[in-house]
Structure 1
Amino acid sequence: MYKRALPPAHYSLKIQSFSLLSKSNVDKYDSGVFEVGGYKWSLSLYPNGDKDNNGSGFVSFYLSIEETDKLPHGWEVDVNYKLFVYDKIRDVYLTIQDADGAVRSFHDLKTQWGFVDA
């Protein structure tokens, strides 16, 4: 069991037309920077998959910690996150998370975690 002092936090990103985005020439869509839990973050979406990581034919999502130059030397941020993707056609939410619900450590050498084949 994992315990934490902070309550859960969330961020919502709405894409008006995923079908238009996936048909466009846009390889990657970035959310822009937002703050959750006292840290700056961004979400990246590859509507046709992250081809550099064998994600072609899927949708790829990544969470990145931002403005790391403002964090103290030796920083590390442990995060347990999941993504909820609303499927407007089927009127359901898809939950995307690691199978084991693992806590991921963000640090100087690993500032991004994600899902290549969602």
Structure 2
Amino acid sequence: MSIIWIAFEVIINFYEGFMETYYIYKFLPPKTESTKKNIIAFALCFCTLGLLITVMNYLTIFEGIFGIVCYLMALFLYALVNRKGSIIKKLFAATVPLVMISLISIITLNFVSSVNSMSIKEIVT
């Protein structure tokens, strides 16, 4: 695998982590009014997620439930520590972006599979 493809995948993984964290950032109000603390917590969360996604992609072909649970825990921890709201709202805010990403991935995989006449297993591997 060339360095360009690896760099592209890492960029995509960090972008995914950014978008998932950004959803929580916009959905729930901050616990503190300190912009600096909020930005540091946001950056720490999305970088952690980006790193987790990258590591999981290299350890397994498909993350499965273990990967989703890891991502959910990271997002929920960010919501718990840095954002206001009930536990239910925080769990909801952490779950929604993961469900959306999963649905988008399923639709994309099925579309690419049908267009290229390849099985989903072939595309994932």
TM over 0.5: no
Structure that is richer in strand per residue: 1
TM-score normalized by structure 1?
Answer: 0.31
TM-score normalized by structure 2?
Answer: 0.30
Q: Which has the larger radius of gyration?
A: 2
Structure that is richer in helix per residue: 2
